[in-house]
């Protein structure tokens, strides 16, 4: 396995983004039985959920699926990578990557979220312009 300390720039950001994607998908896919006697979340988890709600407007179910002791570090890393506008990968591209992953899961909430977030980052639904390249040495088309 590659040591993250040996990675720089885009490679490290891509590895971290892939890790976050896996962390988001795996816990959400695992069933979690609700118990009537579940203890209230710790103060740290409650503060983390409050920060998530303040930042995103709600606490997505994939974040609620994290174990209580893991939610704070997972949220810190999510903010540092996914929500950081100054990372090696621009926000628009991070969201387009998230949209591609969401489409493959498939997760309707994720598709909706990443579509809206990509739009906020500057992505559009217009197709990219077609580039036509003409070789300068090729014969001109007959007139």
Domain-located, residue 131: no
Residue 72 · residue 44 · CB < 8 Å: yes
What CA–CA distance (Å, rounded) separates 76 from 115?
Answer: 23
| Whether residues 20 and 62 fall in one domain | yes
CA angle 33, 69, 65 (to 5 degrees): 35
Per-residue pLDDT of the chain (143 residues; tens, 9 = 90+): 444 444 455 554 444 454 555 555 555 555 555 555 667 889 999 999 999 999 989 998 889 999 999 999 999 999 998 888 898 999 999 999 999 999 998 888 889 989 998 998 888 888 666 655 656 665 555 54
Residue 130 lies in a domain: no
Q: Within this chain, do residues 51 and 18 fall inside the same structural domain, yes or no?
A: yes
Whole-Å CA distances, 38 to 35, 59, 73? 5, 18, 22
């Amino acid at each position: 396995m590659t040591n993250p300390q040996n990675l720089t720039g885009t490679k490290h950001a891509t590895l971290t983004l892939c890790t976050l994607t896996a962390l988001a998908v795996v816990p959400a896919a695992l069933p979690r039985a609700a118990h009537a006697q579940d203890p209230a979340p710790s103060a740290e988890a409650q503060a983390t959920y409050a920060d998530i709600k303040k930042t995103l407007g709600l606490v997505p179910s994939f974040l609620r699926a994290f174990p209580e002791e893991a939610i704070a570090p997972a949220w810190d890393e999510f903010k540092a990578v996914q929500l950081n506008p100054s990372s090696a990968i621009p926000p628009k591209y991070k969201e387009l990557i998230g949209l591609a992953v969401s489409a493959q899961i498939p997760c309707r909430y994720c598709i909706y979220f990443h579509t809206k977030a990509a739009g906020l980052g500057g992505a559009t639904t217009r197709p990219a312009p077609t580039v036509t390249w003409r070789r300068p040495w090729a014969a001109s088309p007959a007139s």
